Structure 1
Amino acid sequence: MADAAPVFCPDGALAYDRSRTVFVPGRGLALDESYRLAHLPLVAPDHPGVIPTRENRYYTRGRHPRVVSLVLPVPQAHLAAAPAHAALERDLRAAPFAHKIAWEVAARRADRLHATLCGSLAVGPEAVPVLTPAQQAALAALGPVTVELRGLFSGNINLGRLYLRVYPECRDGIDVLAEIQRIMGRPASGLYLVGLHALTDDLDPAEAAFLAEMIDRWWDRPVLRLTVDALWLLWATDDQVLDGGVLAQVPLTGPTSRD
C-alpha cells in the first residue's frame, strides 16, 4: 500500500500572512533600512541609499563576521527543473521592475539556496557549532522531511528581497520544521523563507502595484515539492551567502557527517 501523501501546514499555523509586505495603493516600495545595510551594498554597491555601516550593527558594506546556521537546503537542479518555477521566473522577467532585479547575484548564489531554520549557531572565524548526541538522535528520529515551496513573497523587513515560502510537513498536527527548531533549543518561527531575488532600487507606484498583484496571484501556487534527508550547517560572511558554503551536512537519518 502506497504511503499517504504528506499534509502541509496551513497558512493559519504559519507566520506568512502576518509577516508579508503591506502595499499601499498609489505608493511605491522603498527599500528599508535593514535591506540598505545588509543587502543593497552587495547587489548595488554604488546606490546612494547604501548604508555602509551603523553603530552597534555588525555589517560593513554588507559583510559581517562569519556565522554558521542550520538550514534547509533547496537543490538548484530540482528548482530549475520545476515548470512552476520556470513560469514564475518568466513572470519576473516580464515585470516592469525586471531591470531592478539583481539577476547576476541570483546566479552566483544558486548552489546555496536554502531556508534558515536556526541562525547564528556559531560566530567567529573558526567557530563550529556542536550538536549534542541527544540533538543528533532526535533529528535522526525525524527521518526525511517533505516540504512544499510556494511563491512569491515579500516580507515586512528587508524590503527588497523576494522569496519562496516553505510549507512544512505536518505530522500529527506538528510542524516538522518547528520541531527541528525545538530540538535545537530555538523558538518556533513559523517563517521559512528561501531568498530568491534581490532588488537594486526602490519600486515606483506602478512597479509596486505589479509586485503586489504577482504575490497575490502566486500565493497558493505550489512551485516545488521536496523531500530532504539532510540539513546543512552553512557558513557565511554576508546575508546573501555570496561568501559562504556548506560546512557540514546534518542527516535526518543518522549521525552528523563532515564534508
Structure 2
Amino acid sequence: MSDPNASAGPAFWEDGELGYRRSLTDFADRPLMLDEPYRLAHLPLVAPDHPRVIARQEGRSYEMGVHPPIFSLVLPVDSALLSGSEPFQRLHAEMRAAPFAAKIAWDILPRRSERLHATLCGTLSTGEAPSIDDGTRQALARIEPFAVDLRGPFSGNVNRGRIYLRVYPEKRDGLNPIHAVQAAFGRPPGDLYLVGLYNLTDDLDASETAALAEIIARWWDVSLLRFEVTELWLLGACDDLVLDSQIADRLALRADAPISATPLRP
C-alpha cells in the first residue's frame, strides 16, 4: 500500500505566526499617501520630478535616493521562475489593468529583475563588503536548503508606495529556517520577509486605494511560486531599489547543496 503522505509537500509558516497582517496598510484609514521614508528613498528613483520628493534629509545619507554602498544578506528570487508562474502572470495582468496602473513605475521592473530578493539581515556593513568569518559560514552550511512559498501582493505601514510579495518559509520540525540564518549572523529573529516588486509614482485617490486593497485581499492566500532556497546572497547596493548593486558573495546552505533555486510542485 502506498504512503498517503508520500506526495505531500512541505508545510509553511502561516499568518498567525508571521507579521504580515500586523504590518498591513490600514486601507480604511484614508487614501494611500506616499509616506516620508518612501519619498526619501524610493520616489527620487522612480519619479525624480515629483513635487513631494525628499531630495535629502539631515542625519540621513540619501541624496536623491542614492547612498553609500550598503551590504545586506538576502534571499534571492529567480525572476525567470516567477515570470513563468501562471498565478503570477494572472496577478501581473491584473496589476497592469488596475485603475492605478498608470501610477506604477513599470520601467523599473526589468532593471531590477536579476536582483529580486527578500532582505534577511539588513546593513551588515557600509562602504565595503563585510568579511564573513568561518564560524558564520559553518553555521550556514549546517542549515538544510528549505522551501518557501511566495504569495502576495502586500502594502505595509512603512514605505507606503512600494508593493511587495510575501515569503512564507518552510516549517521544519516546528522551526523557521530563516531564524537559523539570522542567528548565524547574530541577528534577532524577524517575521517579515518581503520581496519588493512594484513602485508607485504618486499618491492614490480613494477609488485607486480601494482597488489596491481589493486586489491584496483577493490574492492574499494564493501561492504564486514555491521553490527551494539553496544559497543566499551578500548584496551591496547604492539605492534601496538595488538599481546599482553587486552580489559580493554567494553563501551556500549545507556545503553539499546545489546553488540554484528549484521550483516545487504546489
The equivalent position to 1:59 in structure 2, one of 58, 62, 74, is: 62
- 8 Å contact from structure 1 (residues 20, 153) kept in 2: yes
Q: In the alignment, which residue of structure 2 is the partner of 1:35? A: 38
After superposition, the C-alpha distances for 1:63-115 in whole angstroms (9 at most, x for unaligned) are 11101111000011100110011011001011000000000011111110000
State the distance in 2 between where 1:199 and 1:166 align: 21
Q: Cα offset for 1:135? A: 1.6
Closer, same or farther: CA 3–130 of 1 in aligned 2, 3 Å? farther
Distance 1:12 1:188 in 2: 16
**Long gaps (5+) in structure 1:** none
Distance 2:135 2:237 in 1: 26
TM-score scaled by length of structure 2:
0.92
1:17 equivalenced with 2:18 (yes/no): no
Task: Out of 6-15 and 38-47, give the one that drifted further.
Answer: 6-15
The residue type equivalent to 1:238 in the other structure is D
**Residue 103 of structure 1 aligns to a residue in which SS?**
coil
Cα distance in 2, alignment partners of residues 217 and 96 from structure 1: 16
Do 2:153 and 2:165's aligned partners in 1 also have CA atoms closer than 8 Å? yes
Question: What does 1:135-214 correspond to in 2, within 5 Å?
Answer: 135-214=136-215
Residue in 1 aligned with 2:260?
Answer: none
Amino acid in structure 1 at the alignment position of 2:99: P
How many Å separate the matches in 2 of 1:134 and 1:234? Answer: 20
Give 1:217-232 correspondences, 5 Å limit. Answer: 217-232=218-233
| TM-score, length-scaled by structure 1 | 0.94
Q: CA deviation at 1:131?
A: 2.1
Shift of 1:51: 0.3
Structure 2: give runs of 5+ residues left out of the alignment. 257-266
Alpha-carbon deviation of 1:3? 7.2
1-structure distance, mates of 2:95, 2:119? 24
Q: What amino acid sits opposite 2:188 in the alignment? A: P
Equivalent residues of 2:155, 2:162 under 8 A apart: yes
Tell me the residue number matched to 1:240: 241
Q: C-alpha offsets along residues 123-153 of structure 1, whole Å, 9 cap, x if unaligned?
A: 11xx122222222112111121210000010
Q: Distance in 1 between matches of 2:227 and 2:131?
A: 27
Q: Are the aligned partners of 2:129 and 2:236 in contact in 1 as well (CA < 8 Å)? A: no
Aligned counterparts of 2:142 and 2:8: Cα–Cα separation in 1: 19
User: 2:83 aligns to what?
Assistant: 80
Aligned equivalents of 1:40, 1:160: Cα separation in 2 = 8
Q: Which residue is 1:253 aligned to?
A: 254
Taking the aligned partners of 1:6 and 1:152, their CA distance within structure 2 comes to: 22
Decide whether the 8 Å contact of 1:136 with 1:254 is kept in 2. Answer: no
Q: Is the 8 A contact 1:163 1:197 kept in 2?
A: yes
SS in structure 2 of the partner of residue 128 of structure 1: coil
**Residue type matched to 1:183 in 2?**
A
Task: Say whether the 8 Å CA contact 2:103–2:201 is kept in structure 1.
Answer: yes
CA RMSD of aligned residues (A): 1.3
SS in 2 for 1:216: helix
Aligned length, in residue pairs: 252
Three-state SS of the structure 1 residue aligned to 2:119 is strand
Aligned runs of 1:107-146 on 2, under 5 Å? 107-124=110-127, 127-146=128-147
Q: Which letter maps to 1:168?
A: P
Distance 1:129 1:75 in 2: 24
